[in-house]
Structure 1
Amino acid sequence: MYGHWDISEVGEFDPANFFGFVYQISLWIGGETFVYIGRKAFSSSPKWQNYKSSSSSVKNLRREAEKVEYTILELAKTKRELTYLEAKYLFTNNVLESDRFLNRNILGRFFSQK
Protein backbone atom coordinates (compact mmCIF):
# COMPACT_ATOMS: atom_id res chain seq x y z
CA MET A 1 0.00 0.00 0.00
CA TYR A 2 2.91 2.39 0.63
CA GLY A 3 5.23 1.37 -2.22
CA HIS A 4 8.92 1.56 -1.27
CA TRP A 5 8.27 3.93 1.66
CA ASP A 6 9.23 3.00 5.21
CA ILE A 7 6.37 4.20 7.42
CA SER A 8 7.81 3.18 10.79
CA GLU A 9 8.06 6.86 11.87
CA VAL A 10 4.35 7.57 11.17
CA GLY A 11 2.60 4.21 11.31
CA GLU A 12 -0.33 3.09 9.16
CA PHE A 13 -2.29 5.97 7.60
CA ASP A 14 -4.87 6.78 4.95
CA PRO A 15 -3.42 9.21 2.39
CA ALA A 16 -6.91 10.62 1.82
CA ASN A 17 -6.73 12.16 5.31
CA PHE A 18 -3.53 14.13 4.62
CA PHE A 19 -2.21 16.71 2.15
CA GLY A 20 1.33 15.31 1.99
CA PHE A 21 4.43 14.17 3.81
CA VAL A 22 8.01 15.09 4.67
CA TYR A 23 10.48 12.38 3.71
CA GLN A 24 14.11 11.40 4.03
CA ILE A 25 16.12 9.54 1.42
CA SER A 26 19.28 7.85 2.71
CA LEU A 27 21.92 6.63 0.25
CA TRP A 28 24.91 4.47 1.18
CA ILE A 29 27.91 4.94 -1.10
CA GLY A 30 31.41 3.65 -0.39
CA GLY A 31 30.89 3.42 3.36
CA GLU A 32 29.35 6.90 3.63
CA THR A 33 25.72 7.85 4.14
CA PHE A 34 24.18 10.78 2.30
CA VAL A 35 20.74 12.15 3.17
CA TYR A 36 18.13 14.26 1.40
CA ILE A 37 15.04 15.70 3.09
CA GLY A 38 12.07 16.77 1.01
CA ARG A 39 8.30 16.92 0.78
CA LYS A 40 5.66 15.37 -1.43
CA ALA A 41 1.96 16.06 -1.77
CA PHE A 42 -0.46 13.18 -2.04
CA SER A 43 -2.68 13.17 -5.08
CA SER A 44 -5.84 11.29 -5.91
CA SER A 45 -3.71 8.70 -7.71
CA PRO A 46 -1.18 6.37 -6.05
CA LYS A 47 1.78 7.88 -7.99
CA TRP A 48 3.31 9.13 -4.73
CA GLN A 49 4.03 5.52 -3.80
CA ASN A 50 6.65 5.30 -6.58
CA TYR A 51 8.12 8.79 -6.07
CA LYS A 52 11.91 8.77 -5.71
CA SER A 53 12.78 12.52 -5.65
CA SER A 54 13.08 15.32 -8.17
CA SER A 55 16.52 16.31 -6.83
CA SER A 56 19.23 15.91 -9.48
CA SER A 57 21.79 15.18 -6.73
CA VAL A 58 19.69 12.28 -5.48
CA LYS A 59 19.02 10.98 -9.00
CA ASN A 60 22.73 10.95 -9.87
CA LEU A 61 23.90 9.36 -6.62
CA ARG A 62 21.12 6.77 -6.59
CA ARG A 63 22.85 5.07 -9.53
CA GLU A 64 26.03 4.64 -7.45
CA ALA A 65 24.37 3.71 -4.16
CA GLU A 66 24.75 0.26 -2.67
CA LYS A 67 21.58 0.84 -0.67
CA VAL A 68 18.78 3.44 -0.72
CA GLU A 69 16.06 3.91 1.90
CA TYR A 70 12.94 6.07 1.59
CA THR A 71 11.37 7.09 4.92
CA ILE A 72 8.23 9.12 5.60
CA LEU A 73 9.13 11.32 8.57
CA GLU A 74 5.89 13.18 9.17
CA LEU A 75 2.42 13.64 7.68
CA ALA A 76 0.79 17.02 7.06
CA LYS A 77 -2.91 17.83 6.81
CA THR A 78 -2.48 21.10 4.86
CA LYS A 79 -0.11 22.65 2.33
CA ARG A 80 0.87 25.26 4.92
CA GLU A 81 1.74 22.59 7.48
CA LEU A 82 3.71 20.63 4.88
CA THR A 83 5.82 23.67 3.99
CA TYR A 84 6.43 24.40 7.67
CA LEU A 85 7.38 20.81 8.53
CA GLU A 86 9.84 20.54 5.65
CA ALA A 87 11.54 23.80 6.68
CA LYS A 88 11.63 22.65 10.32
CA TYR A 89 13.40 19.40 9.40
CA LEU A 90 15.84 21.19 7.09
CA PHE A 91 16.82 23.83 9.66
CA THR A 92 16.84 21.40 12.61
CA ASN A 93 19.23 19.10 10.75
CA ASN A 94 21.48 21.97 9.57
CA VAL A 95 21.31 20.58 6.04
CA LEU A 96 23.17 23.51 4.49
CA GLU A 97 26.11 23.16 6.89
CA SER A 98 26.80 19.45 6.48
CA ASP A 99 28.36 17.57 3.58
CA ARG A 100 26.27 14.58 4.62
CA PHE A 101 23.07 16.26 3.36
CA LEU A 102 22.35 16.64 -0.35
CA ASN A 103 19.97 19.58 0.07
CA ARG A 104 21.40 22.74 -1.48
CA ASN A 105 18.65 25.21 -0.52
CA ILE A 106 15.74 25.68 1.84
CA LEU A 107 12.49 26.78 0.23
CA GLY A 108 14.52 28.24 -2.63
CA ARG A 109 15.69 31.09 -0.39
CA PHE A 110 18.61 29.89 1.68
CA PHE A 111 21.48 28.41 -0.30
CA SER A 112 24.46 26.25 0.51
CA GLN A 113 27.90 27.75 -0.08
CA LYS A 114 29.15 24.42 -1.48
Structure 2
Amino acid sequence: MQLLAGVKLCTGRTLTNHPHYEDKNLRERTKQIYQIYAKRSPEDVYRILRSFGTDYVILEDSICYERRHSRGCRLRDLLDIANGHIMDGLGENEPDLKPSLQFTFDSILDIAKIFIDS
Protein backbone atom coordinates (compact mmCIF):
# COMPACT_ATOMS: atom_id res chain seq x y z
CA MET A 1 0.00 0.00 0.00
CA GLN A 2 2.86 2.39 0.75
CA LEU A 3 4.37 1.85 -2.68
CA LEU A 4 1.23 2.96 -4.50
CA ALA A 5 0.81 5.95 -2.21
CA GLY A 6 4.40 6.94 -2.99
CA VAL A 7 3.88 6.55 -6.73
CA LYS A 8 0.77 8.73 -6.57
CA LEU A 9 2.40 11.35 -4.36
CA CYS A 10 5.70 11.58 -6.23
CA THR A 11 4.48 11.26 -9.81
CA GLY A 12 0.90 12.49 -9.76
CA ARG A 13 0.01 9.59 -12.07
CA THR A 14 -3.41 7.99 -12.03
CA LEU A 15 -3.38 4.57 -10.39
CA THR A 16 -5.10 1.79 -12.31
CA ASN A 17 -5.71 -0.23 -9.20
CA HIS A 18 -5.38 -0.09 -5.43
CA PRO A 19 -6.24 -3.56 -4.09
CA HIS A 20 -6.58 -2.46 -0.46
CA TYR A 21 -9.72 -0.40 -1.04
CA GLU A 22 -12.83 -2.58 -0.71
CA ASP A 23 -15.65 -2.30 -3.23
CA LYS A 24 -17.34 -4.91 -5.47
CA ASN A 25 -16.25 -3.21 -8.70
CA LEU A 26 -12.68 -2.81 -7.45
CA ARG A 27 -12.57 -6.49 -6.46
CA GLU A 28 -13.39 -7.44 -10.04
CA ARG A 29 -10.90 -4.88 -11.38
CA THR A 30 -8.21 -6.27 -9.05
CA LYS A 31 -8.95 -9.81 -10.23
CA GLN A 32 -8.52 -8.68 -13.84
CA ILE A 33 -5.35 -6.67 -13.25
CA TYR A 34 -3.79 -9.47 -11.21
CA GLN A 35 -3.92 -11.60 -14.37
CA ILE A 36 -0.34 -10.38 -14.85
CA TYR A 37 0.54 -13.05 -12.27
CA ALA A 38 -1.57 -15.79 -13.90
CA LYS A 39 -0.86 -18.15 -16.75
CA ARG A 40 -2.22 -15.86 -19.45
CA SER A 41 -0.72 -14.94 -22.80
CA PRO A 42 1.10 -11.63 -23.03
CA GLU A 43 -1.51 -10.51 -25.56
CA ASP A 44 -4.36 -11.27 -23.11
CA VAL A 45 -2.65 -9.39 -20.30
CA TYR A 46 -1.87 -6.47 -22.59
CA ARG A 47 -5.53 -6.29 -23.69
CA ILE A 48 -6.74 -6.39 -20.07
CA LEU A 49 -4.30 -3.71 -18.91
CA ARG A 50 -5.02 -1.43 -21.87
CA SER A 51 -8.77 -1.75 -21.21
CA PHE A 52 -8.07 0.01 -17.91
CA GLY A 53 -5.79 2.60 -19.52
CA THR A 54 -2.67 1.17 -17.91
CA ASP A 55 0.62 2.55 -19.23
CA TYR A 56 3.04 1.13 -16.64
CA VAL A 57 3.07 -1.95 -14.43
CA ILE A 58 4.79 -2.32 -11.09
CA LEU A 59 5.55 -6.02 -10.83
CA GLU A 60 5.91 -7.58 -7.39
CA ASP A 61 8.22 -10.50 -8.09
CA SER A 62 7.63 -11.71 -4.53
CA ILE A 63 4.18 -12.78 -5.73
CA CYS A 64 5.71 -14.73 -8.62
CA TYR A 65 8.24 -16.51 -6.38
CA GLU A 66 6.10 -16.76 -3.24
CA ARG A 67 7.04 -19.66 -0.98
CA ARG A 68 5.55 -18.56 2.38
CA HIS A 69 2.11 -19.96 1.75
CA SER A 70 1.32 -23.55 0.98
CA ARG A 71 0.26 -24.70 -2.47
CA GLY A 72 -3.33 -23.69 -3.10
CA CYS A 73 -3.08 -20.53 -0.97
CA ARG A 74 -0.65 -18.50 -3.08
CA LEU A 75 -2.09 -15.70 -5.22
CA ARG A 76 -0.90 -17.37 -8.41
CA ASP A 77 -2.64 -20.61 -7.36
CA LEU A 78 -5.91 -18.80 -6.71
CA LEU A 79 -5.67 -17.18 -10.15
CA ASP A 80 -4.87 -20.52 -11.78
CA ILE A 81 -7.90 -22.15 -10.18
CA ALA A 82 -10.18 -19.22 -11.08
CA ASN A 83 -8.95 -19.45 -14.68
CA GLY A 84 -9.45 -23.23 -14.81
CA HIS A 85 -5.74 -24.11 -14.83
CA ILE A 86 -3.83 -26.63 -12.75
CA MET A 87 -1.49 -25.21 -10.12
CA ASP A 88 2.31 -25.35 -10.27
CA GLY A 89 4.17 -27.80 -8.06
CA LEU A 90 3.55 -31.22 -6.63
CA GLY A 91 0.13 -32.04 -5.31
CA GLU A 92 -3.41 -32.83 -6.26
CA ASN A 93 -5.54 -30.69 -8.56
CA GLU A 94 -9.27 -30.70 -9.08
CA PRO A 95 -10.10 -33.07 -11.97
CA ASP A 96 -11.76 -30.35 -14.08
CA LEU A 97 -8.64 -28.12 -14.13
CA LYS A 98 -6.58 -28.11 -17.33
CA PRO A 99 -2.90 -27.38 -17.97
CA SER A 100 -2.18 -23.90 -19.25
CA LEU A 101 -0.22 -23.44 -22.45
CA GLN A 102 1.15 -20.17 -21.08
CA PHE A 103 4.26 -19.53 -19.04
CA THR A 104 4.25 -17.61 -15.81
CA PHE A 105 6.83 -15.04 -14.71
CA ASP A 106 8.83 -14.95 -17.96
CA SER A 107 5.71 -13.86 -19.84
CA ILE A 108 5.93 -10.56 -17.96
CA LEU A 109 9.04 -9.73 -19.97
CA ASP A 110 7.08 -10.38 -23.16
CA ILE A 111 4.31 -8.08 -21.93
CA ALA A 112 6.85 -5.36 -21.14
CA LYS A 113 8.15 -5.63 -24.70
CA ILE A 114 4.61 -5.31 -26.08
CA PHE A 115 4.11 -2.12 -24.02
CA ILE A 116 7.45 -0.70 -25.16
CA ASP A 117 6.79 -1.50 -28.83
CA SER A 118 3.28 0.01 -28.87
Same fold flag (TM > 0.5)? no
Larger relative helix fraction: 2
TM-score computed with the length of structure 2 as normaliser = 0.30
TM-score computed with the length of structure 1 as normaliser = 0.30
Larger relative strand fraction: 1
Larger RCO (CA within 8 A; separation ≥ 6): 1
Which structure has the greater CA radius of gyration?
2
